[in-house]
Amino acid sequence: MRTAAIVPAAGRGDRLGPGVPKALRPLGGAPLLVHAVRALAQAPSVELVVVAAPVDDVHTVERLLADFEWGAEVVVVAGGVDRRQSVAHGLAALPADVEIVLVHDAARPLAPSELAEAVAVTVRTRADACIPVVPLVDTVKQVVGDQVVRTLDRSQLRAVQTPQGFRRSVLAKAHAWAATADPAEVATITDDASLVERIGGCVVTIPGAPEAFKVTQPSDLLLGEAFLTRRRA
């Protein structure tokens, strides 16, 4: 079963501060995107990586990625106005014979290739969709304004990472639903697995990895540098 990965990498990353788009910010001497593509391309199952780049930076990203030897074919497409549309553009670029699709944020540059492979194998062997999750360490409360409404049962909650994996037919159906659904409802959906849940699909979880954390603010880059230093030691 052919497996491809889509990397939505078209976000600005404003919470990181001013500068180039987030996927092109450096971490340990290479852009976040390069780390993310390398991990996916090194996963034994992944034969193709489709990067959805910022519309104005497609050629820059093509040139950047052409400088590396990958273990898989890598192509670049223009991203969309939001993450969902960037993934949809990646989906539209997949060859017809791809049956399993991983979706992985460029903003999670240090997710290990072993995690990508575990997700792909889970989809191939036993699931329509698979997501890596980690337990929550903080207590979580629902708040309206500055008022606590209730405290959620942390033991039942998980934080969700990427890469997320899908049977291509299921992911395509979920994105087709999103393209025609109420935009206000779709705007509240922040990952691909949620789209699959919304159309009644079954999503299974596997243990995530600390290295698959998301780079959102400047302190996350410090954490990334520390992981890289340990990895290179």
> Using CA atoms, how far apart are residues 202 and 39, in angstroms rounded to an integer?
26
> Using CA atoms, how far apart are residues 64 and 68, in angstroms rounded to an integer?
8
Considering the rule CB under 6 A, would residue 106 count as an interface residue with ligand C5P? yes
Amino acid 102 reads: L
Whichever of 33 and 121 has its CB closer to ligand C5P, that residue is 33
Whichever of 19 and 229 has its CB closer to ligand C5P, that residue is 19
Q: Which stretch binds ligand C5P (CB under 6 A): 40-48, 81-89, 128-136, 218-226?
A: 81-89
Identify whether the C-beta of residue 178 lies closer than 8 Å to the C-beta of residue 187.
no
Tokens 């309206």, located at residue: 144
Residue from 174, 164, 162, 168 nearest 201 by CA = 174
Considering the rule CB under 6 A, would residue 161 count as an interface residue with ligand C5P? no
Residues 27-46 that bind ligand C5P (CB under 6 A): none
Near ligand C5P by CB under 6 A: residue from 3, 4, 6, 11: 11
> Using CA atoms, how far apart are residues 24 and 15, in angstroms rounded to an integer?
14
Please give the DSSP secondary-structure letter assigned to residue 212.
G
Whichever of 99 and 220 has its CB closer to ligand C5P, that residue is 220
Considering the rule CB under 6 A, would residue 196 count as an interface residue with ligand C5P? no
Residue from 221, 223, 232, 212 nearest 25 by CA = 221
Residues 127-156 that bind ligand C5P (CB under 6 A): none
Residue from 86, 99, 90, 89 nearest 46 by CA = 99
Considering the rule CB under 6 A, would residue 83 count as an interface residue with ligand C5P? yes
State phi, psi for 138 to the nearest 5 degrees: -90, 150
Residue from 75, 91, 72 nearest 83 by CA = 91
Residues 42-71 that bind ligand C5P (CB under 6 A): 52
> Using CA atoms, how far apart are residues 46 and 1, in angstroms rounded to an integer?
10
Residues 202-231 that bind ligand C5P (CB under 6 A): 216
Considering the rule CB under 6 A, would residue 8 count as an interface residue with ligand C5P? yes
Considering the rule CB under 6 A, would residue 109 count as an interface residue with ligand C5P? no
Near ligand C5P by CB under 6 A: residue from 29, 69, 81, 149: 81
Considering the rule CB under 6 A, would residue 80 count as an interface residue with ligand C5P? yes
Near ligand C5P by CB under 6 A: residue from 45, 86, 113, 194: 86
Residues near ligand C5P (CB under 6 A) are 8-11, 22-23, 52, 79-83, 86, 105-107, 216
